[in-house]
Structure 1
Amino acid sequence: MTEQARNRQQSATIYAVADLAQVSIATVSRVLQGSPVVTEKTRQKVLAAVDQLDYLPSGAARSLAVRHHDTYGLVLPELSGPYYAELLVGFETRAAQLDQSVMLVLAGTKKDRGQAVRTLATRVDGIAVLGSDVAHVGGSTKPLVVIAGHASSGIETVTAENIEGARRITEHLLDHGRTRLRFVGDPSAAHDVGERHQGFLAAHHDRGLEPAAPVLASFREEEGTAVAERIVAGDIDTDALVCGNDELALAIMARLTDRGVSVPGDIAVVGWDDVMTSRYVRPGLTTVRQPVQAVGALAADRLHHLVSGAAPSAVRHVLPTEVVIRSSCGCPGEVGPPPSRP
């Protein structure tokens, strides 16, 4: 850019654009925001003035005019814990590869998620929502991808496999001779947790066994500690715990050990996610490895296809999970290949 052009760009204002195009300032603003109420003739007059004055780079101006933001929205309930961080890394990395920015909104409740989607719709080209019932994120015509949520007609879903992984890890504990298994987590709290509980139930039913009721707990460290205290107090009778995520499992293991309960001697503990800590605690945590970063990356990729004009796929995109055997279940050590991170 020449010095003269740079000076012209710096001195240009929205007032100058409006004066050159012979329209109001409000009309210039509407054009740059992509409002559909402006006629095509007026839109072209404003864009020509923008180009002539270098008020904005012409590419950016035209992008705004057709309401392209080059930004994807991601709605998560929170950022605490390793799962959300890995999901965000996967989503943001893939979006960057596609030359897209990411606007993150934290919305814990279903009502909050619906509001977040409606707010994001004016600022982004497409939206990915974690674990939300689609009925609560309506009100937007922008492309939508649901992560780890319910499959729904016309809306793409990206998730990791849950039922079979939970069945296999539960069967593994039953093969160890454990007879009083309990599932730790709240199956009604999220679709993927409900699927893991389904796998727990299926492993029992396959052997003609009646599963015990789940121990309800949210996916937080303090909840795991509270469950361990209930076990020590005799409120929960169990010899093996199938935890809905690693954070619960690790907290339970730590508190049981502090209280003199042997893991896995007295109680076997298994988790879900395969967070980094799972490999370094002793005993190592037997768990189910899910490709969290890959799920985030695929969600961004599918969103890009939709924003580019592709029709939503009827297929629910499901990435495989893998049981990782360490020693918290009673086995001598890790079995299987080392983890691979995208």
Structure 2
Amino acid sequence: MAGTGTSSSGPRATIYSVAERAGVSIATVSRVLQGGPGVAAATREKVLAAADDLGYLPLGAARSLAVQHHEAHGLVLPELSGPYYSELLMGFEARAAELGQSVVLVLADSRPDLARAVRQLATRVDGIAALGATAMPPDVARALHGRKPVVIIAGDPQEGIESIVAENRESAEALTSHVLDHDRTRLLFVGDPDGAPDTRDRYAGFVAAHTSRGLEARDPVRIPFRERDGERFAARFLAGGHEADALVCANDELALSIMARLLDAGVDVPSEVVVVGWDDVMTARYVRPGLTTVRQPVQDLGALAADRLHDLITGCRPTGASRVLPTELVLRASCGCAQTETTLVRPKRTARGRGTDV
């Protein structure tokens, strides 16, 4: 079983050097790296540690040629709770299936040693797509680069590595400006800009909208992006812990949970407090008041990542470019608009309708 890898200062690693480092047979190394049974836990740990130390990865492409197909696409997500991740997975898996690929999924939040989990995944698949730095640490991406195809979704660009993102800053500025047009003067951004690059860019758009009007944007309320965190924020808000007449939320999951808690407490949305979100999940269209938000093509992000990964696996040279998919501002009643639904902003698209390279 051939393999490739590079230690920090030595020649290419092979299955033989891993076996020598771990003090086991090459057959044992092969069973461990393929996830086979019959290996003691302590021995498995020694093999994995040796492979990590040497930077060893089996040649998945060589195994694929032997069976005349690509084995799998790897996908690393933080978790599966919430509508965003499921939409992304649906888009990725559907496109991979069209290409004849299976998908091996790893959830970062359930892995105490994510770097090792990703390196182990790399021994089982022909290429890996990952959602941002939380799912693919930069040092791991750099280690895999050149040895396994890697695509980063909704993360900061890394030199020489393909990335696919949705536009965030301009639409966030348009959304915030629209809220300010409703004569709201005490806006709060709810969500942690340090939690993800796309949220950081949304807060940058929030700040830009204030700056363009000579206003000073308030510091964000730094909370995670889950439903329960929105409920906790709403409880503090109702108790007087925050003062605002508009809440610009980092995603729809926060916005919907906050709005539901406020409405249950008798707060009039939007007359007393405007609530807006981001993503345009299905529920945003059916709650009352309808949620003003930014629609991003989450399934398209997943599908395009699978497409690009397939291109790289089958020999397309990496460009290191970022593909940026457009987003749309969708107005509903939660911001104070009377319309049931109006698409206000539709950024320019390419002829293929799949975004632009930047």
TM range (shorter): 0.7 to 0.9
Q: Distance in 2 between matches of 1:328 and 1:156?
A: 37
State the partner residue of 2:331: 325
Does residue 307 of structure 1 match 2:308? no
TM-score between the two structures when normalised by the length of structure 1? 0.78
Output the amino acid matched with 2:283. Answer: T
1:69/1:113 CA distance change after superposition, 3 Å = farther
Does residue 236 of structure 1 match 2:237? no
Q: Distance in 1 between matches of 2:111 and 2:248?
A: 27
- CA-based RMSD: 2.6
Can you list the C-alpha shifts for 1:65-124, whole angstroms capped at 9, x where unaligned?
A: 499642000000100011101100100111111111100010128974422220111100
1:62/1:105 CA distance change after superposition, 3 Å = closer
Secondary structure of the corresponding residue to residue 109 of structure 2: coil
Output the amino acid matched with 1:202. Answer: A
Match of 1:335 among 311, 320, 342: 342
1:137 Cα offset (Å): 3.7
Does residue 139 of structure 1 match 2:146? no
Output the amino acid matched with 2:331. Answer: I
Q: Distance in 2 between matches of 1:63 and 1:151?
A: 29
Contact 2:233 2:258 in 1 (8 A): yes
The within-5 A match list for 1:12-51 is 26=27
State the partner residue of 1:90: 91
Q: Distance in 1 between matches of 2:92 and 2:210?
A: 36
1:232 Cα offset (Å): 1.2
The within-5 A match list for 1:193-342 is 193-333=199-339, 334-336=341-343
Output the amino acid matched with 1:195. Answer: D
Q: Distance in 1 between matches of 2:78 and 2:178?
A: 32
Q: Which sections of structure 2, spanning at least 5 residues, go unmatched?
A: 1-25, 35-60, 345-353
The within-5 A match list for 1:117-132 is 117-132=118-133
State the partner residue of 2:71: 70
TM-score between the two structures when normalised by the length of structure 2? 0.75
Contact 2:141 2:150 in 1 (8 A): no
Contact 2:151 2:162 in 1 (8 A): yes
Contact 1:219 1:244 in 2 (8 A): yes
Larger Rg: 1
Q: Distance in 2 between matches of 1:113 and 1:145?
A: 17
1:324 Cα offset (Å): 0.4
The within-5 A match list for 1:161-200 is 161-200=167-206
Q: Distance in 1 between matches of 2:63 and 2:217?
A: 60
Q: Which sections of structure 1, spanning at least 5 residues, go unmatched?
A: 1-24, 34-59
Output the amino acid matched with 2:207. Answer: L
Q: Distance in 2 between matches of 1:122 and 1:101?
A: 15
Q: Distance in 1 between matches of 2:342 and 2:264?
A: 27
1:218 Cα offset (Å): 0.7
State the partner residue of 1:37: none
Contact 2:248 2:276 in 1 (8 A): yes
